[in-house]
């Protein structure tokens, strides 16, 4: 097994994101509760008892389940950090809206689908939104056999190239590629000091 060392500021960023999801969940739950209350206070007397019970159960399940899903909090319960090896890379042309492209830092109309096998032999399929370079240039960032690391709560894979290769460092938070010897991301300013060590 390999140990992942994550900068403290990235850990704080992930905790802040989780906090934001919790706030969203509370707001959505309040809205759902208000909607359920209004519905049953206006039509509750007209419903048959059995229908009313079933309706309440469904309303409660939806009133909790949908806010929980849309808050994004569930992603943090299924996500985990891992180190793995790239076993497949596929670049596909797609039609991406300008808004979506800006949100994902995408300058071209293509996505790399990278399959990673982690140390536990589990497979992970990741979407890589690169900086829109031509395919041959982009493919060098994620090659078959490369070691990559995924940090819990972060969106981007970080290739762990040997320092002698002089390849750009990918920020796990925003995906920007910085100088091979940079300490901070040129885009978001967060630390690039993500390390993987043998236990």
Cβ atoms within 10 Å of 170's Cβ, excluding its own: 26
- Phi then psi for residue 127, to 5 deg, are -95, 125
Q: Name the E strands within 103-176.
A: 110-118, 123-128, 147-150, 158-159, 169-170
Q: What are the tens digits of pLDDT across the range 65-107?
A: 999 988 988 888 888 899 999 998 887 766 655 555 555 554 4
Torsion of CA 82, 84, 86, 92, to 10 degrees: -10
What is d(CA 63, CA 14) in angstroms, rounded to the nearest whole number?
A: 26
Q: What are the tens digits of pLDDT across the range 165-189?
A: 778 888 898 888 888 888 899 888 8
pTM: 0.74
- Which tokens belong to 184? 């901070």
Please compute the mean of the pLDDT values over residues 95-121 and round it to a whole number.
68
The CATH code of the domain at 79-198 is: 2.40.50
The DSSP result for 166-196, as a single string, is -PPEEPTTT--EE-TT-SB-TTT--B---EE
């Amino acid at each position: 097994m390999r140990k992942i060392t994550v900068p403290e500021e990235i850990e704080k960023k992930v905790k802040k994101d989780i906090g934001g999801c919790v706030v969203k969940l509370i707001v959505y739950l309040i809205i759902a509760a208000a909607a359920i209350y209004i519905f049953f206070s206006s039509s509750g007397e007209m419903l048959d008892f059995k229908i009313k019970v079933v309706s309440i159960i469904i309303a409660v399940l939806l009133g909790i389940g949908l806010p929980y899903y849309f808050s994004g909090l569930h992603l943090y319960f299924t996500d985990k950090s891992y180190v793995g090896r790239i076993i497949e890379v596929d670049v596909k042309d797609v039609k991406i809206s300008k808004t979506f492209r800006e949100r994902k830092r995408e300058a071209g109309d293509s996505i790399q689908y990278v399959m990673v096998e982690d140390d536990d032999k589990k497979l992970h399929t990741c979407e890589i939104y690169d900086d829109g370079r031509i395919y041959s240039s982009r493919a060098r960032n994620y090659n078959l056999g490369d070691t990559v690391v995924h940090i819990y709560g972060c969106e981007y894979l970080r290739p762990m190239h040997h320092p002698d290769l002089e390849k750009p460092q990918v920020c796990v938070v925003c995906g920007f590629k910085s100088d091979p010897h940079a300490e901070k991301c040129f885009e978001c300013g967060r630390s690039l000091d993500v390390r993987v060590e043998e236990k």
